[in-house]
């Protein structure tokens, strides 16, 4: 399990939810708030913002199904199932209503969570994504080049073999390519990401997460095109990342929700690690 110093003041625990054992960090008092990480990371990606948020909120920081120290089953990587994991986790911890902040893959889980549990999700913040259905619907030459890994990951078996054989170079490349702030992911944090990335099942699970996006998730999103997120939405993205050049990010979310605000921050993809102070300011304004 991750060293306690990554999440100062938090308690690590395992909770069974939706048939899987999820690892989660918990701290704080007040309205409930769940923070969901992205690929290829774990809950410690919130280490620079979670302690501050725990001064005002009951903060829950899980490792998603297939990631970190959580279980890595063979299936269940569609976002409906992963969202159900988080809802049952929050229910098990005594939180019937909660706000959600998600980054990357965790933001896709968060979007589905807000659609499927409208009575539970009070506010939704999505970091550095546009909706999954929008990505596949609008894929062209520039987007395909920028999102190369989405399509490489669809190939069965081969990505598992290649990434497993070069896990550290792969992980270092992903962090370097997608961030703009040198040193934002310090070496100790990188080594923790590498530890959980090398746990049996993690590489396969992450790939299945992306494969589900192109199949089950797209179909689920297509079926729900008429549905809208009811709660307020905050969309934040990195000015130096791929979103800013490829999309009108706010417009994509206004197709999905009625109450949408947001802006870019001067950083790359890994916003909670590259621009934690700016993100905290935005979150504290939005979540109160």
d(CA 141, CA 219): 23
- In sign, the C-alpha dihedral spanning 284, 270, 44, 41 is positive
As beta bridge partners, residue 235 has 126, 262
Q: What are phi and psi for residue 8, nearest 5 degrees?
A: -60, 130
The residues that are catalytic are 104, 269
Residue 225 CB-half CA count within 13 A? 7
Summary count for the chain: helices (H), strands (E): 15, 8
- In sign, the C-alpha dihedral spanning 270, 276, 278, 283 is positive
As beta bridge partners, residue 32 has 58
Q: What are phi and psi for residue 127, nearest 5 degrees?
A: -110, 115
- Per DSSP (E only), the strands in 115-249 are 121-127, 233-238
Which run of H or of E encompasses 16? strand 11-17
In this structure, are residues 274 and 268 in contact, taking their beta carbons and an 8 Å threshold?
Answer: yes
Structure token digits, residue 153: 């990951």
Helix axes 158-165, 202-212, angle to 10 degrees: 140
């Amino acid at each position: 399990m991750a060293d306690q110093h990554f999440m100062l003041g938090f308690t690590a625990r395992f909770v069974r939810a939706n048939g899987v054992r999820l690892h989660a960090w918990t701290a704080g008092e007040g309205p409930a708030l769940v923070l969901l990480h992205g690929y290829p990371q774990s809950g410690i990606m919130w280490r620079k913002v979670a302690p501050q948020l725990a001064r005002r909120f009951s903060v829950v920081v899980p490792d998603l199904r297939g990631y970190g120290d959580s279980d890595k089953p063979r299936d269940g990587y569609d976002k409906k199932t992963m969202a159900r994991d988080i809802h049952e986790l929050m229910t098990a911890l005594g939180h019937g209503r909660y706000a959600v902040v998600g980054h990357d893959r965790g933001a896709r889980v968060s979007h589905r969570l807000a659609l499927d549990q409208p009575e539970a999700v009070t506010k939704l913040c999505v970091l550095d994504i546009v909706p999954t259905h929008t990505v596949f619907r609008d894929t062209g030459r520039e987007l395909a080049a920028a999102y190369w890994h989405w399509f490489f990951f669809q190939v069965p078996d081969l990505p598992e073999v290649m990434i497993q054989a070069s896990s550290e170079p792969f992980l270092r490349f992903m962090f370097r390519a997608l961030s703009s702030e040198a040193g934002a992911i310090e070496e100790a944090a990188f080594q923790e990401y590498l530890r959980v990335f090398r746990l049996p099942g993690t590489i396969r699970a992450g790939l299945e997460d992306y494969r589900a996006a192109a199949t089950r998730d797209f179909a689920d999103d297509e079926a729900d095109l008429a549905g809208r997120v009811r709660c307020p939405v905050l969309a934040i993205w990195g000015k130096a990342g791929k979103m800013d050049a490829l999309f009108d990010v706010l417009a994509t979310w206004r197709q999905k929700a009625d109450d949408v605000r947001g802006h870019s921050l001067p950083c790359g993809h890994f916003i909670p690690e590259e621009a934690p102070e700016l993100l905290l300011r935005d979150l504290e304004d939005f979540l109160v």
